[in-house]
Amino acid sequence: MCKIGDSDGVIISSPEYVRAIPGGLKNAIDWLVSTPYVIDKPIALVHASHRGDQMLQALRVVLSTISSNFRPELFWRLPLLTETPDAIMTIVRGPAHRSAAEDFLERFAACCREVKCP
């Protein structure tokens, strides 16, 4: 948990499990709730599937409850669900997806700087 406390922000990426937040992720979030580590921490989501919207909706509710700086507008979706590992590497390294990843990370870094230096 100290690593989260020492970070400028948190990016969460998780698969869905039976249309819900996986138990391990929910348990980790539950542990963080009773600490000061995420209260004002910028948090953003990345999702690597074309489905999972119900889980993402539930996760957004939880994250907006635990952090005043959860940024739902900072979201990057890259549908990779049915791809092989080799295909995933080709897709991720492609210029369009690389550009999208860089844009997402630049926007998230700007958000972290904004929160860190009000």
pTM over 0.95: no
What are the structure tokens assigned to 64, written together? 């907006």
CB neighbourhood size of 115 (10 A) = 16
CATH fold of the domain at 2-116: Rossmann fold (3.40.50)
pLDDT for residue 100:
92
pLDDT for residue 117:
53
51-105 pLDDT, tens digit per residue, is: 899 999 999 999 999 888 999 999 999 888 889 999 999 998 899 888 999 999 9
What is the side-by-side order of every strand in the sheet holding 70-77? 10-13, 43-47, 70-77
pLDDT at 31 over 60: yes
Amino acid found at 56: L
